[in-house]
Structure 1
Amino acid sequence: MFTLAQETGADWWEVEALFDTAFAPGRGALSSYRLREGVAPVAALCRVARDSEGILGGAIRFWPVCVGPHPTLLLGPVAVHPTAQGEGLGAALIRDTLARAAELGHARVLLVGDAPYYARFGFHRLEGVEMPPPTNPDRILGAALRPGAWDGVTGVVARAA
């Protein structure tokens, strides 16, 4: 049994270690990390999952970006510790935070990932949205938190001002 809670400053390094475990320390070289540099994550959507003994099982973060002039959330990273994989924890973190994002009034979410996995959360391949290179365009996915939120939204993904 895991409990989801907002990430705090005290969680930061433990979450970073989890992300390193899940993605390897070279994860910072990915194009999505250039969009995060110098920008604070959306604190209300950064969540951790801990078991009954307080051990970190998973974490998720969101970052503000813009697609052209349109404010957008960038989901990621999301990770589950290898000892907790296969229990639905990643899905719980994603569902929880997408619902919270909608409640907070956000319109759309963007991520770079595998369409077959993320389709169950409402993500689909985006046409006309460009991530910094090198990013495979087939992995640029979006989910609308409001009907039509991605209609007509195209352009280069940039750091939020």
Structure 2
Amino acid sequence: MIDSSSNIYSKAFELADTIRDKLGARKHQVAIIFFDRFTYSEGVSYVNDNKKRIIEITKRGDLSSVNLADKGSLYILTMADFVGGLEFDAVILVGVDKGRIPDIAKATSTATKMYQNYIAHNRMYVSVTRARKVVNIIGEATRGESEVLEHAIKTSKIEVIK
């Protein structure tokens, strides 16, 4: 859990570098995955402002972009909706916190809330299973822990670091 929204992007790249070094992996083998368009857009702005070298995957299963990332020594930025069919040594999931995952702010009925919860679990499952070795999840401490992670936290399957 990170102290502010502006720090989640720098932390994502810091983790990517650390993981890459520990695994002896190449940059394209680490994917930074977002779950909503707003957070993704802010992440791209962070990349541009800080002159980070990345490639964006903007369609499902885009192996050609992964190959370009390999050739250019680039990190991969994408959204959870586009990682199906791809595999990485590590994934960093950005913006997984209360209110964003699941996104129930605009849900007006119980059915809509249940559907948003289902979608959030599905997108988390797909994203987590893209990693061969390492998964890191970043959220904002001020928002709190995502309900999607509640059981895993309670049963000590994942460790929350603040």
Q: Taking structure 1 as the reference length, what is the TM-score of the superposition? A: 0.33
Q: Select the structure with the greater relative contact order (CA < 8 A; seq sep ≥ 6).
A: 2
Q: Taking structure 2 as the reference length, what is the TM-score of the superposition? A: 0.33
